[in-house]
Amino acid sequence: MTRKKAVAVVVFIISVIFCIIVFLIVFTENANKNVYKSELEEKLYYANASYTNSFNGTLNQMMSVADTVAIQVGSVFKYSDYNREGRFIEDKEKMIKAVRNILRNEKTLSAVYITFNPELFPDRQEIWFIRKGDKIIQVDSASLAKTWLLKTNPNTKYFYDAMENGSFWGGPDWETILNHYNITYTRRIIDKEGVKLGIVGTDIISSQVTDTVSKIKVYRDSKAYLFNENLEYIAKGDNDTLTEEIYNFIKTKKKQFSETPGIYYFNSDNGRYVFSGSRLNNGWFLIIMQPEKTVLEPITRVIFFTWFLVGVTLFLLILTSCFLFKKTFFPAINKIEEQALFIIHQSRQAKLGEMIAGITHQLKQPVNNANIVLMNMQEDVEEGNVTDDVMQEHIKALAESVNTMLPIINDFAGFLKPDREKTLINVKEEINSCLRLMRMKLSFAGVRVELQAEKEIELYGYKNEFVQCMLNVIGNALEALERIEDKRRIIRIKTKECGDMLVISIYNNGREIPAELQDRVFEPYVTTKTKDGGTGIGLYLTKEIIEEHFAGRIYYKNLDEGVVFIFEIPVKKEKESDTNA
């Protein structure tokens, strides 16, 4: 080969390698941009979902306390009885003790109060307790101005809106006695005869919400906002008021916001913004905003540095193209793989957070039950009605609430831990255990449960996880049945062994799963119970457990009259599982 030919071949090889390197660099830049954008969307989504769950927990607590007290007062009080001298004073003293105890136990609340209807009680009766530091203080409403509860007073919407509409959310409103702003929830009280007795209210300090919102940071210049249903500011960071064009953009997207966070892009004069928006349980909106340019700043630096390397690479290719091929191509691929692994790890951590968020919904009822038992116990002690039988009933009720909470806590705390022990699971016995746990709810809803088990079948696996899956699906069936009124409510559970597979079917004769949710039933945050505080975690968690820890599958079918969920799980005995391991 002549020198010219050799040079031509070398130039050709270098040119080809150089073109490949340039192509790879451009490809890597675009891949990195897409990875950063995907990472931004995921971070916004999970940040919004996490804080939405957190705020919903606080709001649900306020609603739970007020709703529980309103129901209790309305079920015990009857306005027509107050013609008897001394009855109102006697019942009011009971309420004072109950309200004081509630505020003492609910540490996040700043005030709890019962305001009676001034049309029925013209002497302005009110029970009002506030928290100042570690002290619970009763406020004397008689010392307030005479215009305090007049309809013409613009600060009394919390009372008259609740009396008219049933409930009211408001804030932030200035509370002179506490010297700070409050967020308020009030609920109307109706007695047995339909008389509107007044309202129950719960407050939290507005600065708690504002501090949380101002600390929401996905990146250094992220901004978060909490709006009410009319898109009025509830909480935001200092000097974080939105520009008019961004505010109008959010206003156009208002109807799209739901309990599941959505991702939206907006091009403004100052650059491109990425939003994550969601709707809270009380109709408020949480918005997290991030300028896209901040996320792509690392890409700009990478581009400059990469093209610098291209020049150096072109020079070094004359000496050894193969060496530089490995030094430029493989590190770029490794970088992409590392970024992909990071995103997978981040998604896995976020999934665990979503599962834990469901604990709030699971524990709400037993905690409320325990609180009611304690209040009843205190009333029995104060009235001298304590006997051994009464005390045993209270202890038994408390034990049932605690025993209901413990498996839930253990199930979630133990999820995905590698050091858990597998045991033999008696399928029929554990399903019966689930039904016993839900006996009161099933009975109250008028649901007939039919359990048909061919024989005693045993699985080898994690008992708590199996029980949790059964509770999730049976609980969903119960909630579906509670929404039907025109026919008998039935849950039918069948277990049978088909070869090496255990088949469990759980049928309810409620409504079919709607078409728009049929392909997304097992996705996180997908629920048909958004108005009732559903989290959309139960079926997602059930699918994860059955597939990952039992090597099975779960699916459903819409039938002519109802829905059936079907589990298919391989039947593995202990020795077989240990041998395979």
- Residue 243 has what pLDDT? 87
Q: Average per-residue pLDDT in the chain? A: 79
* Greatest alpha-carbon span in the chain: 123
Rank 125-139, 440-454, 489-503, 522-536 by mean pLDDT and report only the highest. Answer: 489-503
Q: How confident is the model at residue 389 (pLDDT cuts 50, 70, 90)?
A: confident
CA distances from residue 34 to 30, 44, 220, 257, 270 in whole angstroms, order as listed? 6, 15, 20, 25, 22
102-153 residue pLDDT tens: 999 988 899 999 988 888 877 667 889 999 888 899 987 766 655 567 777 7
Instruction: Tell me, yes or no, if the pTM score tops 0.85.
Output: no
Quickly count helices (H) and strands (E) in the chain. 13, 18
pLDDT for 531 beyond 70: no
Higher pLDDT, 485 or 111: 111
224-235 residue pLDDT tens: 999 999 999 999
CA distances from residue 352 to 41, 46, 544 in whole angstroms, order as listed? 18, 11, 11
DSSP codes joined into one string, 244-286: HHHHHHHHHHGGG--SS-EEEEEEETTEEEEEEEEE-TTS-EE
User: Parallel, antiparallel, or unpaired: how do β-strands 447-453 and 489-498 relate?
Assistant: parallel
What is the spatial distance between Cα 215 and Cα 409, in angstroms, rounded to a whole number? 29
Kindly state the average pLDDT of the residues 397-401. Answer: 80
Burial 512-536 (b: 16+ CB within 10 A, else e): ebeeeeeeebbebbbbbbbeebbbb
Q: Are 463 and 430 in contact (CB under 8 A)?
A: yes
What is the spatial distance between Cα 329 and Cα 342, in angstroms, rounded to a whole number? 20
pLDDT for 508 beyond 90: yes
Q: How confident is the model at residue 333 (pLDDT cuts 50, 70, 90)?
A: very low
